[in-house]
Structure 1
Amino acid sequence: MTTITKGAALRIALAAKVLEGVDPRAFTVKLAEKVGLPITEDKLAAVTVAEIKLLLTGEETVEPDQDMASIKLAVRYLWGDNGDDSDVPKPESYTDGELPDSLRVAVASNSGDNVDGHFGSAPRFLIYQVGKTAIKLIDVRPTLIADEAEDKNVARSELINDCQIVYVQSIGGPAAAKVVRAGVHPVKFPTPGPAVAALARLQGTLDAPPPWLAKIMGVEAKSLAQFAAEEEEA
């Protein structure tokens, strides 16, 4: 009798890959204890995020070492998301210098054109050129190759080191330090949403950038007093 179907084995392998420090064999054993043998696609499709958190820690009151974004992505893989990028938008043609005084922004994305990925587990970075007159998706960069490196966070940082900013749903402290070392400024968006909406807000500040953005752009910032006043009014 087969104890695990081929499809279920693939789902588990993908899920274990995004859970840092998790041994695939041990993970499979724990899943078997949870869902019972044989392990099938239908059984994995019923697994919840809460159950995986408990499986990783053994106690309801203990938080797992993995971040929630990675756990949610792992559960999506268990449910049958195979990393298919058919919902990912296609890049537009772009020539360097086409958008003067623009910024290049990487977006950690799990799905579509959303800012909904953890820096260390998102399957792709969407690369946008953000200028005063337009926002263009110029590249889509899968992270699979980077994840095969000895230090995947360094490799992911190098993957986007031509960008000035990276938008993420979440990022750990050590990873953020490596991103900054690569010359990229991380910005968190804890609530997932469309990348273009977030980038439009950035676009609206390009004429009078706040200090942190002016430093990235290498231009003069609006006065700190004016910026502080606007923040208080918001």
Structure 2
Amino acid sequence: MSNDTLSDDIALRIGLAARTLPDADPARLIRVLADTVGLPPTATTLDTLRVKDLKQAADGELADLDADVLKSILAILKGETGQTVAPAPPIEPYEEGDMPGSLRVACASNGGDELDGHFGAARHFLVYQVSPQEVRLIGVREIAESGTVEDKNGQRAALIADCQVLYVASIGGPAAAKVVKADIHPIKDAAGGSARDRMVALQRILGEKAPPWLAKAMGQSPEERVRFERSEDAA
């Protein structure tokens, strides 16, 4: 190990990158960096890193992580995420009961109106109320985590426990299991884009065209859901 000291900038990068780990443990990341670029890491040595390096280093310390999480870690370590985060859209007024037969949908986002978040690394969830007639953004739920959180995926699932559907750019198997256990239907949309545009698209499959699982979440009666299934079979 070199006698050089770790710069404040690199220390900040490591701390932010560690937050994307399931256990938010910087020690895991330090072990990987020690094996790949040596300690202390510098901006120059971090620039040489690849996703493959992170996955294989330190006897596969991070091998279980989703590729999108590793890409996020790499971008943070290289200082490529320093741009200003776009603010979330303004929240629209909503009272319980305003939109009968509607769904509550969470979208994992890293800023603005974008549906671009990995479930385990997104900055916040945009929460929409969606009915066949309208879409309202009713909440922006920030994700505050620390190294003391033992079940990061469970914490995030609990944050959106009142939602019936979750849109994410990506999600790993264990995290998806937590979401499903919370009775939330996850939908992976790797293409991303405007969250509101996705909600408008969702409107088109609501009502009479809603699949049974979606109709159930909207509160339609069993008779209505059976009627839909029969009409689909006859089509």
TM more than 0.5: yes
Describe the SS at the equivalent of 1:223. helix
2:217 maps to 1:216: yes
Letter in 2 for 1:25: A
Counterpart in the other structure of 2:86: 87
Identify if the C-alpha distance between structure 1 residues 7 and 102 changes in structure 2 by more than 3 Å, giving closer, same or farther: same
| Alpha-carbon offset, residue 92 of structure 1 | 2.1
Distance 2:196 2:59 in 1: 37
2:11 maps to 1:44: no
> What is the Cα-based RMSD across aligned positions, in Å?
3.1
Counterpart in the other structure of 1:187: 187
| Alpha-carbon offset, residue 2 of structure 1 | 3.5
Q: TM-score, normalised by structure 1?
A: 0.79
Instruction: Give ranges in structure 1 of 5+ residues lacking alignment.
Output: none
Q: TM-score, normalised by structure 2?
A: 0.79
Contact 1:114 1:195 in 2 (8 A): yes
Distance 1:2 1:153 in 2: 37
| Alpha-carbon offset, residue 130 of structure 1 | 1.4
Describe the SS at the equivalent of 1:128. strand
| Alpha-carbon offset, residue 18 of structure 1 | 1.3
2:9 maps to 1:7: yes
| Alpha-carbon offset, residue 87 of structure 1 | 0.8
Contact 1:5 1:41 in 2 (8 A): no
Contact 1:108 1:167 in 2 (8 A): yes
| Alpha-carbon offset, residue 77 of structure 1 | 1.8
Distance 2:197 2:129 in 1: 14
Identify if the C-alpha distance between structure 1 residues 115 and 3 changes in structure 2 by more than 3 Å, giving closer, same or farther: same
Letter in 2 for 1:91: P
Identify if the C-alpha distance between structure 1 residues 27 and 201 changes in structure 2 by more than 3 Å, giving closer, same or farther: same
Distance 2:110 2:58 in 1: 22
Identity, in percent, stands at 43
Listed one character per residue, the Cα deviations across residues 35-66 of structure 1 (whole Å, up to 9, x for unaligned) are: 456533454355433433343656xxxx9200
Identify if the C-alpha distance between structure 1 residues 157 and 51 changes in structure 2 by more than 3 Å, giving closer, same or farther: same
Distance 1:120 1:112 in 2: 18
Distance 2:230 2:82 in 1: 47
Contact 2:17 2:77 in 1 (8 A): yes
